[in-house]
Each structure stands twice: as structure tokens, then as C-alpha cells.
Amino acid sequence: MSAVAAAAVAPVVSRDSVDAVPLADIDVSHPDLWVNDSHWPLFARLRREDPVHYCANSLFGPYWSVTKFKDIMNVETHPEIYSSAFSHGGITIFDTNKVASLPMFIAMDPPIHDEKRKVVQPIVAPDNLARMEALIRSRTAAALDQLPVGETFDWVERVSINLTTQMLTTLFDFPFEDRDKLPFWSDLATTIPGPGGIVETEEERMRLLGECAQYFARLWNERVNAAPGNDLLSMMAHDPRTRSMTPEEFLGNLMLLIVGGNDTTRNSMTGGVIALHEHPAEYAKLCADPSIIGTSMISEIIRWQTPLAHMRRTAVADTVLGGKQIKAGDKVIMWYVSGNRDPEAIDQPDRFLADRPRARQHLSFGFGVHRCVGNRLAELQLKILWEELLARWPRPGQIEVMGAPRRVPSPFVKGYESLPVRINR
């Protein structure tokens, strides 16, 4: 049996048995750990005993795990050593995901990355965010006013997916009546193919994403022949740095912008509800002082959730990290989800503190040249959501989680497929 096949059927470590596992056998990338939310004790052990850890056998091949805040920052701030380029494998642990190896802004190194990124930055400029704020608030209010008070419903579907999908239609100036295509394409880009999944094979994924590319190509042709607009497609169509993209780069950037504008905010919208449910004293603190929404709580939600569990780099030169010899060509995984729970960098990191001091000190948006371009928009959407929620349901416990969430079986997108919630009168 091959190493990858062996990893595919390897038993998943339970919380109780983590210390009995040989250090060399720890594989924090196994999807079952993420669907069961049982990766935490493994990361805690790696931070204590082997912060830069080599896993020889996994579903995704051999890789290094970087698990402490300071070491992740070291990787982030040395792009000349640790490459994001699609030609070296891109930004995720998935070597077999053809989407991950497509050319896209984030999967490029400076200086090319920097020039391409500038094309889409105006969409999240302060003046543009100010113009979008009223629209975001009105849509949020409408979505919340339609929720069935006193009945159990799926928060992911009715709130998180609903609101982030509407935001994507604005960012792309996408036909509103076809908006349900956007979350499907987002999920399609990051899923692990297999029986019972969204797709069963990589070939099926790429065929369906080809339909996405065709749809957007029609919109692109409309925008390139019209006056420049204030949406992502128009910005790319009219900028000389992007208007001559290859079909592969076009699809790659579509997937980057769809996933970046959807999955991260969507899963933080759900994660915040779970965090407050699990920390009722913090829920009471929030209701007593809603001003902490903007000063600290939104950043704390994003840290606590860490909606993208990792980013991958590939070493392009031999180097030393945390006392370990990294060879050129090695896959290096920065586990943001672990760095955000590092007690050497963050006080009481496993606690959700709605009024946490220095709440912006987290890794969820990345750092350095690849820091998330849409971070302020994500924070704005979350801030408005919680302001509107408390305006309607201001008492602790009115938003009640009614059962366990169903989590995404992925070591990349740390998210939720569903969450049963009831709003109490």
C-alpha cells in the first residue's frame, strides 16, 4: 500500500489519546480531524514539543507544519525563501486540486503579485466601503427581519450564505437572479472530491468550473466593451495589467475572488454565533456594552474562528526554521488556526473574549505582502451584522444554538455546512 493510501485509511486520533501518538505520526491535515473539530490537542502538542514538524505521510503528501505565531510570521515575511507561486504548488496543501495550481494574484510572488493586486484594491478603498455600507446594512436588516422567530432554522443558509452571496453580486456586479451559482462555485473550488461530495473526481470539478468561466467570460465581454465600472470584473477588464489574462489566470482569479469574498466572511458569521453560545458570560458582556462590537469583538470572532486554517508556501532555497532544516522544494504549511491559539503570542488564546485587548493581533488575514486585501470589508459586514442583531434581539441567549454544527471536512476552509439556531422572543 502506498503512503498516501495508508494515510487515507489511518485512524484519526481522539482527544484522549493524543499523547500516545508517536510525534512522527501526527498528521493534522486529515479531513476527519476538521469535520470532528478534534485537531486542537494535536496542534497544542506540536506547539509544545515540535513547533516545526515534518509529516512524511498524508493524503496530501509530505509537508512541514509551522504551528507557532512567531514562526508563521517568519515565513510570511520572507517571500524570497517561501514562495506562493502557482508554479511551485500554490497556496494550499492540496497538490491534486487543479484550482490550487492555477495562476492567481495570491499564488504569485513579488513583484508580479504586487502589481496584479493593485488592480482590485480600489474595490475595498475607504471611500468605496463607505458607499457600500448603507447597502450592506439594508440587506442585513432585510435578511434578519425574514428569520422565523421562535422556530429552529439553519443559520448558515438563512444568514451566512445569504448575506455573503449578496455581497458577491455587488462586488462582481453579478446578475442577482443567478446569485445561487456563486456559493456553489466557491464550495466547488475548495472541496475534496470523493463519494457523496459535491463532486467525486477532479475532472468533474474542472468541468463544472469551466461552466463558471464561460458564464463570467460573457460578463467580461460586456464590461470590456462598456465604460469602466466600479466592480471587480470591470476593474480587471480595463486595466492593462489584467485585461490580457490567459484563460487559466482568468479562472484562477475568479476562484480567488469568489472564495475570498465568500468563505471567510461566511464562516466568521457562523463562528461568532457559536463562540458566544459557548461563552455565555461574553454574550452577556456584549449585550451590556454593544460598543465593543467594533472595537474588539469582530476581530476576536475572526481570530477565534480562523476561517482559513492554513496557507501553504514552498521553499525555493535550503533554509532553517525553528531549528529544522527545510530543503528547497519542501511544502511548508502555516497553520493560522494554531498560531491564533499560541499562548506565547496571545493571552488565554482558547478563550473567546469579546473585549479582548489588542484583538487585531491575529493571523487570520495573513501578514506581509499577502495580507488579505478584503479584510476591512469582511470586518464591516460582520460589524453591521452584529449591530443589527443586537438592535432586534438585545438580551443574552436570544440567539440560541440548538445543536452541533456540521463542519466542512477540509484542512483549508475551516467552516460550517449547517448550524441549527432558534431566536427566542
Higher pLDDT, 142 or 102: 142
Q: Which CATH number fits domain 3-423: 1.10.3720.10, 3.40.50.720, 1.10.630.10, 3.40.50.300?
A: 1.10.630.10
Instruction: Return d(Cα 205, Cα 129) in angstroms, integer.
Output: 34
Q: What is the mean pLDDT of residues 263-285?
A: 96
Q: Give the single-character DSSP code of 413.
A: B
- Tell which phi-psi region holds residue 348, choosing left (phi > 0), alpha (psi between -120 and 50) or beta: left
Instruction: Return d(Cα 304, Cα 297) in angstroms, integer.
Output: 10
- φ, ψ of residue 22 to 5 degrees: the values are -55, 140
Query: Which triple of cell numbers denotes residue 27?
Result: 498528521
**Which residues, including other chains, have CB under 8 Å from residue 177's CB and lie 6 or more apart?**
none
170 near 135, Cβ under 8 Å?
yes
In sign, the C-alpha dihedral spanning 143, 146, 152, 153 is negative
60 by Cβ neighbours in 10 Å (0-12 / 13-18 / 19+) ranks as: buried
Confidence of residue 87 (pLDDT cuts 50, 70, 90): confident
Give pLDDT tens digits for 161-191: 999 999 999 999 999 999 999 999 999 988 8
Give pLDDT tens digits for 103-144: 766 766 677 777 777 788 888 889 899 999 999 999 999 999
Confidence of residue 9 (pLDDT cuts 50, 70, 90): very low
Give pLDDT tens digits for 211-250: 999 999 999 999 999 999 989 999 999 999 988 888 888 9
pLDDT at 113 (0 to 100): 72
**Which residues, including other chains, have CB under 8 Å from residue 74's CB and lie 6 or more apart?**
321
Query: Which strands form 152-154's sheet, in the order they lie side by side?
Result: 152-154, 420-423, 399-401
pLDDT at 314 (0 to 100): 96
CA nearest neighbour of 287 among 416, 391, 166, 165: 391
* Strand runs labelled E in 26-125: 52-55, 63-66, 82-83
Instruction: Return d(Cα 20, Cα 184) in angstroms, integer.
Output: 40
Q: Domain locations in the chain? A: 3-423
The predicted model scores a pTM of 0.92
Give pLDDT tens digits for 54-85: 999 999 999 999 999 999 999 999 999 999 98
